[in-house]
Amino acid sequence: LTASNGETVFVIDDDFQLDEGTVLLTITGRDIRPSFNQIEIVESLDRIELNDYELTEVDGNEDQLINPGETFELILTAKNTGERRYENVTAIVETESNWVQIEQGETRFGRIESGETVEGEERIRVTITDDCPDGISRPVTKPRLEIEFRSQEDVWESIVMLEPHAPHFTLQRLLGGNFISYEEQDLNLEINNIGSVDSPQLNARLISLDNGVNVRRREAAFPPVRAGERCRISEDPFRVIGTRAAIPGSSVDLILILETESGFVDSVAFQHQVGEPAADSPQGPDDHGYYCFDDTDTDWESAPEYNWLEICPDDDDREFEGISLNFDGRSPHDIGESEVIETDFTIQFYGIEYDRITISSNGFIAVGEQPLMTNFQNWPLDRAIGGGMGMIAPFWDNLDLSGDGHVCYYFDEERNRFIVEWYNLRHRTNGNRNLTFQVVFTGEVTATGDTPIMFQYKGISDLDGNGDWRVSIPFASIGISSPYGNTGLSYVFNDVYSPTSARLQIRRVIKYQTSTESESFQLYGTVRDHDTNQGLSDALVSVRNTLFTETDSTGYWHFESVPIFDSLMVTAHKIGFIDSSVYLNEVENGDSLEINFSLLHAEISISDSQFTANLEPDQEIEFEFQVENNGNGPLDWTIEKQMVTEEQYEPWDLKNSIPAGEIVGDERLYGGIFCEDRFFIAGAGEDLPMIYVLDREGRERNRFDQPHRDNRNGMKDLTFDGELIWGAIENEVFGMNIDCEVMENWFCQYNPVQAMAWDSELEVIWVAGITSDPIAYKRDGQRVDSLVINRSGLRIYGLAYYPEDKDDCNLYIYHVDRDSRLPTIHKVNPLIGDTTFVAILPDESGGEPKGAFITKSYDPNSWIMCSVNHDSEADGGDKIHVWHLDWFDGWFNVDVMTENDRSEAVSGQIAANESTDFYLNLSSVGLNDIHLNSILCFEHNADDADISIDIELIVTDYVSDQLKNNDKNSPVIFGLSSIYPNPFNSTTSISYTLPKSDEVRLSIHDLHGREIAILQNGMGQMGHQTVLWNAVNQPSGLYLCRLESNGKVSTAKLMLMK
């Protein structure tokens, strides 16, 4: 191939024999007429030439190949092929290759006698650059060493071609969808190493070469890949999102940069589609860059508006008086008429300028002089079936010009536009409606210089012709086609519209232009550090979150062309700094605006990184810590709780499945619960209703007869209120202890009761039938008339209560999805009645839903739902499924001080050089013999990585015993250790421990928070202390004991009963 200067050099390998005589040379190329030449080959006479060379690796991997990044010593051997002697022979080695660096490029040979071979005295140092491409798969890139031999005035040239061995990558396929959507998504790439050597691990960077795609995660890694093999991104793929700068369905240019640790660099350029063509969006671009807009594309600046320009001289409402063409409606074989006119207006169409056009009575314009172009048989404009002729077709069909029909044109010099109108034409077949439409060439300036074109329709109908394709195409063609017929845009053909096209109708307007925006301006500036005034490199500058660029090493950024909108927001972003935005209004076409950003930053520090507490059951302790911002800008923070556990589950992951039906030998299992470390499952196999007791491993531990064993169906669902197990047979409800002895029974409205759930907030039992709305009862059987839930058409097979639902939709309904027939969960707010879809449970769960129960007693770290599902014997029989709902983090919470009030800490802001107090409360209420760990994560906008606090809570009954034993080797922790007796009659002993002597305050509060007694307020001694409280003058009730010392707080409940 020739270089950019049109020159090329042939390097003849040693194994290629050239004989004297004539050699034919052919020169050809794209759009070039071939040239045939002859070259005479003659034998060289007196000459110094390269006889041999040797490359010795001095810095590399010692594989005896030329690899990127390696250094070699080159030894040249010269030969005198002539009959005379040459003195002071030297050689200079140079190269034009960007992939080779030469040091010490000259060597001496001295005298060389006729026929003698001499080795150069100096070794030439040759270094291959890190990014040198593979010479096997890309031979055109092989580096060439040009050797110039000299002896006095004589000069000879020789060439050495190097053959580097390197990886070489091509894109094999894109993973993650057929197109980039307008929502953020993963993009994985599979690459193929077609190079000649293996590649180590590759660090990859994805760059978008236009504004249609924003790459949110730009860096990724490919694993090592052998020559001839493929690989894809090993872990986190790229993250991309399409922007409104890309037409839906268009392709954008991206480039993948690949680099090894040793410095080898390769790149792969590719295109990928953004979005899918859709209504209310433009069409295109075609291969030249034309886009098609219509008046329904209202979200786009270039969407045209209907503005009819009447030019027919016979129309009384004409705005301009046009010139009618000499058409009389008669032509040989009725194929139509055409006329060439001068426009007095330069039309640039597909990059070619025209001052003449050919107008046809058949509803199209052919650019240039083409008087024979009448073409009544239309075709799709994006396929040049009849050959290219440069067509602009507002309504190309077999049309009839009769009666008051006209075809006319007008040049509006004042507004620099040219108009062609077809006035009151009709379809030649089946046509009785007037067709009036026009083409308007406007003088708007576009990036390519091509003239914008508009089609407008005042009266239109696209009727089916005679239906015989041999005579006429049934419907019209609308669109544009290039002069060479190699590209174009079809708006509609044969009544088949592009997905982006709106149907043809009166007042429709279509516009073709070579950019998505017709007006733009230039935008540039710098991004600097407010403190140091130094430019910030690699800062991201965005316009309307659709155009993106990065600053250079000096902090400079630049947009060459920004579309004009009513308002624009320009934002500078740099990790570790605070975003800054500027709003622009009233920007003019062609403006050049400068915006300089000075970014502030926040600095975060936290007073404590770990909190640990050992508590007895039903105690609380509070810790205080501070978060400080030492930066010059506001610190935004958000808190997130993260449980520390060996298990990794997402909501509705299946944690366990027990083949309970097979274990107990019952094919009719119904509802079940988990309490007291056991599963209790109701079943009625062989018409013998039982309650089966299984441990968490699925081993049967016991079985009990259900009440009324004469009823063959038994209980359909179970629930647990913390004391009693509840179930119903037909319409009779039973409350049973854990030995399944009946403690309560009463009758309810529904017969039979299908589902039950205990509501711990409202303290009611919800009951429902399959097609009956859930209603509520107190534990004594009293109906709560105000509590009724609309089941929203769901067929209810199970109910469960989830007290920590984040949407306050605590009652969960277990049913079957109508479409997939899979077990499904909806949830409802018991007080308001709002119903929300939750999840369709995975296929592998199998079976029909029969009952559900939600608890955190199965796993102290999480909430689970246990369900009973009926399945056939072939599929393993009835099963107990355990589903993960969410991690349990109710044992701790964090408050923040805001002005003079405390509130739950979720998110907030700390001003520059300010600090904020936070309060961590750990609670062992409802817990026993458990060890919990969590991480409190602070996400923030400071430069540091996210900061976290480790939290540990140990709950055990043995703390007070250890303190009473006064084991001096045991660590002494702060907190209330015991209250005995509790409940108490009039006097109780309150014990606490201090890790060191310090000021201490011990007080008693009622449930309204009022302080009613101070038991100690002063210096407290290290170790175990006991204080008596005489409550003889206090009424019976629940009280709160509060211990405070050195910023820490411990609380416990105590009950006075007289």
Using CA of residue 322, residue 323, residue 328, residue 333, what is the dihedral sign? Answer: negative
Average pLDDT, integer, range 722-734: 94
pLDDT tens column, 297-307: 988 888 999 99
The answer, yes or no, to whether the previous bond of 849 is cis (omega within 30 of 0) is: no
pLDDT exceeds 90 at position 1044? yes
Write the DSSP assignment of 254-315 as a string of letters.
EEEEEE-TT--EEEEEEEEEES---TTS-B---SS--EEEETT-TTSTT----------TT-
Q: Are strands 678-683 and 669-675 parallel, antiparallel or unpaired?
A: antiparallel
Q: How far apart are CA 811 and CA 798, in angstroms?
A: 10
Residues 6+ apart with CB under 8 A from 258: 169, 191, 202, 203, 204, 222, 265, 266, 267, 268
E strand or H helix that includes residue 321: none
Q: How far apart are CA 199 and CA 168, in angstroms?
A: 9
pLDDT exceeds 90 at position 1006? no
Q: What share of the chain is helix, strand, coil (3-state, %, to 5)?
A: 0, 50, 45
The three-state secondary structure class of 1057 is coil
pLDDT exceeds 90 at position 365? yes
Q: How far apart are CA 562 and CA 26, in angstroms?
A: 48
pLDDT tens column, 54-66: 999 998 888 889 9
Token pair for 568: 């624009």
Using CA of residue 127, residue 129, residue 130, residue 133, what is the dihedral sign? Answer: negative
pLDDT at site 379: 83
Contact 744, 815 (CB under 8 A): no
pLDDT tens column, 598-640: 999 999 999 988 888 888 888 888 889 999 999 999 999 999 8
Q: Are strands 690-694 and 678-683 parallel, antiparallel or unpaired?
A: antiparallel
Alpha-carbon torsion angle 639, 640, 645, 648, nearest 10: -160
Q: What is the percent of the chain where pLDDT is above 90? A: 48
Give the type of residue at 165. H
Q: Which one has a higher pLDDT value, 247 or 515?
A: 247
pLDDT exceeds 50 at position 960? no
DSSP 134: P
Q: How far apart are CA 865 and CA 264, in angstroms?
A: 54
Q: How far apart are CA 409 and CA 406, in angstroms?
A: 10
Q: Which one has a higher pLDDT value, 286 or 1028?
A: 286
> Domains of the chain by range and CATH?
169-274 (2.60.40.10), 291-513 (no CATH), 520-599 (2.60.40.1120), 604-648+891-955 (2.60.40.10), 660-876 (2.130.10.10), 959-1056 (2.60.40.1930)
Q: Are strands 975-980 and 987-994 parallel, antiparallel or unpaired?
A: antiparallel
Band of residue 970 on the pLDDT scale cut at 50, 70, 90:
very low
The answer, yes or no, to whether the previous bond of 774 is cis (omega within 30 of 0) is: no
Tell me how crowded residue 108 is: count the other CB atoms within 10 A of its CB: 12
Band of residue 546 on the pLDDT scale cut at 50, 70, 90:
low
pLDDT tens column, 230-255: 999 988 999 998 877 788 888 888 99
Band of residue 964 on the pLDDT scale cut at 50, 70, 90:
very low
Give the type of residue at 568. L
pLDDT exceeds 60 at position 466? no
Contact 452, 510 (CB under 8 A): no
Band of residue 43 on the pLDDT scale cut at 50, 70, 90:
low
The answer, yes or no, to whether the previous bond of 617 is cis (omega within 30 of 0) is: no
pLDDT exceeds 70 at position 75? yes
Token pair for 23: 């050699």
pLDDT at site 845: 55
Q: Is 344 left (phi over 0), alpha (psi -120 to 50) or beta?
A: left
Q: Is 25 exposed, middle or buried (0-12, 13-18, 19+ CB in 10 A)?
A: exposed
pLDDT at site 967: 44
Token pair for 757: 């759930």
Q: Whole-number mean pLDDT of the chain?
A: 87
pLDDT exceeds 90 at position 25? no
Q: Which one has a higher pLDDT value, 170 or 446?
A: 170
Q: Give the rounded distance of the alpha carbon of 200 from its chain centre.
A: 28
Tell me how crowded residue 994 is: count the other CB atoms within 10 A of its CB: 21
Alpha-carbon torsion angle 376, 377, 383, 388, nearest 10: -50
Residues 6+ apart with CB under 8 A from 1027: 989, 990, 991, 992, 1002, 1015, 1016
pLDDT at site 221: 93
pLDDT at site 33: 72
Token pair for 796: 């209810």
pLDDT at site 968: 42
Average pLDDT, integer, range 640-668: 86
DSSP 164: B
Helix ranges (DSSP H) in 132-282? none
Band of residue 965 on the pLDDT scale cut at 50, 70, 90:
very low
pLDDT tens column, 563-601: 776 678 999 999 889 999 999 888 887 889 999 999 999
Average pLDDT, integer, range 677-694: 92
pLDDT tens column, 921-949: 998 887 777 778 888 999 898 877 778 89
Tell me how crowded residue 956 is: count the other CB atoms within 10 A of its CB: 18
Contact 595, 523 (CB under 8 A): yes
| Whole-number Cα distances in Å, 231 to 173, 776, 1008 | 10, 60, 66
pLDDT tens column, 324-364: 998 987 777 667 899 999 998 999 999 999 999 999 999 99
pLDDT tens column, 79-108: 998 888 999 999 999 998 888 999 888 999
b/e map of 432-469 (b: 16 or more CB within 10 Å)? eebbbbbbbbbeeebeeebbbbbbbbbebbbbebeeee
Q: What is the percent of the chain where pLDDT is above 70? A: 93
pLDDT exceeds 50 at position 1050? yes
Average pLDDT, integer, range 391-409: 89
| Whole-number Cα distances in Å, 1001 to 384, 1009, 1015, 1042 | 93, 16, 8, 8
Residues 6+ apart with CB under 8 A from 515: 289, 291, 302, 446, 447, 448
Average pLDDT, integer, range 191-210: 89
